[in-house]
Amino acid sequence: MVKIIVQKFGGTSVADGEGRARAIERILAAKAEGYQPVVVVSAMGRKGAPYATDTLISLVKEINPEVNPRELDLLISCGEIISTVVMAHTLNSMGHPAIALTGGQAGIKTDANFGNAQILEVDPMPILRQVMEDKIVVVAGFQGIAPDGSITTLGRGGSDTTATALGAALQAEVVEIYTDVDGVMTVDPRVEPEAKILEEISYREVCEMAYQGAKVIHPRAVEVAMSRQVPIRIKNTFSDAKGTLISQSAAERVITGIAHLTGLSQVRVLSSRDGQQNWQLVRVKLFRVLAEKGISVDVISVLPDGVYFTVSQADGFKACQYLHEAGFACELVENCAKVSVIGAGMQGVPGVMAEIMETLYSAGIDILQTSDSDITISFLVPESQLKEAVHVLHRKLGW
């Protein structure tokens, strides 16, 4: 029986000859271990590089910022296609039979929501036919094909989603996500230099960390793998670190990691200016106003005499303006950050909130607002205190 492994290489891993050589080492090592590799690649490099997605976007936005979504998807799909052909050609030149496929050619069928398409179905047969001929299949990440044959792209983290969707459809042994970090870490090392690599983490914990700001893997990709119980390993293309295994069976700790989001504003709606007495009805109206204006809200606290919530910094002034026009009085607190402590084992454990609050209070951190769920406790703090908040929590939690 063929043992399939899906290996995804990000933009920094395929940006130059050195990176591609290391990626090919990983591919051939998997083959030597008895696996049949199916490789997913991102566009080469990041903004400024000739074939990076942002570079391609700038080609048309310099002409007119308003670009037809269908044509934009057609354009930005080229970055991954270029990477795919280069990697397949390199493998063939080394004597290892390989074939390059677009997302559509690989059987990835999506809806027609250009720019953020959802995968509807993955037909495994186009890849399996090539696998049975002992070819290394190299697939363009981040893309699929709509019902009318148009090329679509999958939005942020799309190549990760391609990899896990293929892993699920092909019943892969594992999906390896190669990047430029050694694995999932307890906290962003750019904020906390003492961050540690997690050897393993559960699907729902890494999903929550991603939703709360960690950027190692997109939550949609994890959800796809979780639905079919396909393990994921996050590894570094440029080191031999073991990486992080993401699976259902990973031990769930009381506290697994800390994530953060910056660029937030807090909106405080304290009273209504239009004379309405039914505060419950007023609160319903408040959120309807924001929804109709396309303003996304988070960290919501509904109190008897007010409502606090967060929006992106870019939406803060607009949110207050819209609410003012609808008869609400509101205050805006800008330059905020959300710090989230995540752990699937915290549910039912007394004292977690108390310990975190005491730690932040002792460090002089100004807690503007809190929210929690089954596996997450979040704090809104001034962005100027973000690093200190993360540092004291990381130190207190014992990593």
Contact 200, 257 (CB under 8 A): no
Q: Known binding site for substrate: residues?
A: 53, 80
Contact 222, 206 (CB under 8 A): yes
State the Cα–Cα distance between residues 396 and 192, nearest whole angstrom. Answer: 13
Strand arrangement of the beta sheet that strand 151-153 belongs to: 119-122, 108-110, 143-145, 151-153
Helix runs in 170-234, H state only = 203-211, 219-228
Contact 57, 74 (CB under 8 A): no
State the Cα–Cα distance between residues 218 and 92, nearest whole angstrom. Answer: 31
Q: Known binding site: residues?
A: 8-11, 53, 80, 179-180, 190, 215-216
- Tokens 């891993």 correspond to 13
Q: Known binding site for ATP: residues?
A: 8-11, 179-180, 190, 215-216
How buried is 72 (Cβ within 10 angstroms: 0-12 exposed, 13-18 middle, 19+ buried)? Answer: middle
